[in-house]
Amino acid sequence: MKSILYQRIKSLCEQKRISIAKLESELGFGNSSIKKWGNTSSPSVDKIIKVASYFDVSVDYLLGRTDIEGSISEVIGDEDIVSFQRARQKMTQKDRERMMQMLKLGFEYAFSDQEGDDK
């Protein structure tokens, strides 16, 4: 089975409609170096960072630590997320847990209305 890193890079190449060989060329990697990451070798951190930057995704996404494919710049640039994070940093653990309960309830309520409209 191919590594998660290789699978994600292959998928990103397909989405961008480029070959892995083209990616290797554009990033200055040796021929078939990315293909080797699928089974036998591990890349340096610098190479993983280059690939992440090329596709504008996080290193965590490439390594399978998160399934959020959206680019890190989208997340960082979202004012709602930035405001949410700033508020969260000032909260106690108990306040964070209460906030998450409120958000979950809010989402359940908001999306339950949409389900009723479809019927």
Report residue 114 as tokens. 């949409």
User: What is the C-alpha separation between 60 and 5, in angstroms, rounded?
Assistant: 10
Q: 65 and 8, same structural domain?
A: yes
* Domain hosting residue 42, numbered range: 4-74
* Domains: count for the chain: 2
Q: pLDDT digit string (tens) for 6-33?
A: 999 999 999 999 999 999 999 999 988 9
* CATH of residue 25: 1.10.260.40
Contact indicator for 52, 58 with CB cutoff of 8 Å:
yes
Residues whose CB is less than 8 angstroms from the CB of residue 4 and which lie 6 or more positions away in sequence, other chains included: 63, 64
- pLDDT tens sequence across 109-118: 888 865 555 4
- 8 and 22 assigned to the same domain: yes
Tell me the whole-structure pTM to 2 decimals: 0.63
What's the pLDDT at 15? 94
Q: Do 56 and 91 share a domain, yes or no?
A: no
- Greatest mean pLDDT among 35-39, 42-46, 71-75: 42-46
- What distance in Å separates the CA atoms of residue 53 and residue 56, rounded to the nearest whole number? 5
